[in-house]
Amino acid sequence: MTDDVAIRDRAALETTSARELALDCAAAGIAAARPRRVVRESVSVAGDDLTVGDATYDLRDYDEVVVLGGGKAAGGVAGALETALGDRIDRGVVVTNAPADCDRVAVREGDHPVPSERGVAGAREVLELADDADENTLVLATITGGASALLPAPADGISLADLRAVTTDLLESGATIGEINAVRKHLSALKGGRLAERAAPAEVVGLVLSDVVSDDLEVIASGPLSPDSSTYRDALGVLDRREIDPPAGVRDRLERGARGEIPETPTEGDPAFDRVSVHVLADGMTALDAAAEVARDAGYEPIVLSSRVRGEAREAAKTHVAIAEEVCATGNPLGAPAVLLSGGETTVTVRGDGEGGPNLEFALSAALELDVDDVAIASVDTDGSDGGTDAAGALVDGDTVGESLSARAARAALADNDSFGALDAANCVLRTGATGTNVNDLRIAVVE
């Protein structure tokens, strides 16, 4: 997989200079977070010294080097590690939904956003490899966005059906990723620091591509290598707050844990983390910085509004449109030509029966709000699949509603959570295919 990102039917999408620049920024942002590029820039080997970020490890100190982990970018990271270390890697296994060609690391396929049986099988192999590690093992653990679903390892008493049901309910409830993961961590044999427990006393080096706001290591992939501050009682609180009635096995385990009958996930100071170091190699700012550079090179003034946008996607869209309108009307917070950028993770509370995800819903809501010319807005999930659709997101402008889509149809689609159907019919959907990375959402508003 090359670093370049191809957008399908691009010629039909880039009908104005603003739309063309929005696509350029989106493609550059995704490409900058591709794992091979990220690892190439952050990991190197010189003689017997392995450098990861600002840390160096002497390979002579270890009898075996093992690669394990999971996530949407895990296959790409594993391949890049093979390029860097070659036959110094003894074995490994990662689970992903974007397979990569590897020689020494087995790449298993799983499913996202709802866990599957093949993901369970892959996670079992990862845990077996962790269990085999000893004090003379160097474990290179690739942990990237999507691993919460791709590495399902049901705890005792929890079935895959239980995990699938509660995951689906949480996703549709509008729960934040932190809330969702608080529940998942307490239903897993791997999440919430338990992978670190299983690998101890090995030297564990985490290589992380972050898909969460603020790069919280507890939340990324449900924190398999990190101390967990959430509790069984917290997980129960999420279910109650989101009005979710979980399967009996789920509630039973969480209630037993809250009563102290099941050990909590490991917390700060636990010896499981004595030989664990975690390095964030890429995050949302990686994509935003690359998009800003493209805008600047094109003669536009870029501004990053925030890398931490969250909340309901349709409401966040209204704020972004309002800022674009302000640029047009008053030159604040900067004058045109300008590119407004943001990242983060918005959510959708599902009330209808349609298809779509946060970026598609953001784009449809923005199209309804846009009442100015010379503004184009793109919103994409950097993994290439928004809400489980084959679309990364969408590209809209002030003519989308009115010319390509009636306001009545757009509002009906929003009410039914069918942003994908409406935008696809209007030829606004942006498709990249699986990108092999995931640093969450990227939004671009070009103001001519």
List the domains of the chain with CATH numbers.
Answer: 10-32+284-447 (3.40.1480.10), 35-153+188-230+265-282 (3.40.50.10180)
Phi, psi for residue 93 in degrees, rounded to 5: -155, 135
Residue 71 has pLDDT above 90, yes or no: yes
SS3 182: helix
Per-residue pLDDT tens digits for 251-277: 999 999 999 999 999 999 999 999 999
Stated as kind and residue range, the H or E segment containing 419 is helix 419-425
Per-residue pLDDT tens digits for 102-134: 999 999 999 998 999 999 999 999 999 999 999
- Average pLDDT of the chain, as a whole number: 96
Residue 30 has pLDDT above 60, yes or no: yes
Under the banding of pLDDT at 50, 70 and 90, the label for residue 373 is confident
pLDDT above 90 as % of the chain = 94
Residue 43 CA, chain-centre distance (Å), reads 21
The 3-class secondary structure across 370-389, one letter per residue, is CCCCCEEEEEEECCCCCCCC
Residue 2 has pLDDT above 80, yes or no: no
CA angle 74, 78, 79 (to 5 degrees): 120
| CB-count burial class (<10 Å; 0-12, 13-18, 19+) for 46 | exposed
Please give the structure tokens belonging to residue 214.
């603020």
Average pLDDT of the segment spanning 176-194: 95
pLDDT for residue 3: 67
Per-residue pLDDT tens digits for 58-68: 999 999 999 99
pLDDT for residue 185: 97
CA angle 224, 229, 232 (to 5 degrees): 90
What letter would DSSP give residue 394? E
Can you tell me which residue has the tokens 């509370």? Answer: 349
- CA distance linking residue 294 with residue 21, whole number of Å: 8
Average pLDDT of the segment spanning 153-180: 94
Instruction: Give the CA dihedral 369, 371, 377, 381, nearest 10 degrees.
Output: 10
Stated as kind and residue range, the H or E segment containing 203 is strand 203-209
CA distances from 299 to 14, 21, 326, 336, 378 (A): 18, 11, 20, 10, 19
Query: What is the side-by-side order of every strand in the sheet holding 55-58?
Result: 43-46, 49-52, 55-58
pLDDT for residue 1: 43
CB 108, CB 78: distance < 8 Å: no
399: number of Cβ within 10 Å: 15
Per-residue pLDDT tens digits for 294-348: 999 999 999 999 999 999 999 999 999 999 999 999 999 999 999 999 999 999 9
What letter would DSSP give residue 335? P
Under the banding of pLDDT at 50, 70 and 90, the label for residue 99 is confident
What letter would DSSP give residue 404? I
- Of 356, 350, 387, nearest in space to 242 by CA: 350
pLDDT above 70 as % of the chain = 99
Stated as kind and residue range, the H or E segment containing 142 is strand 137-144
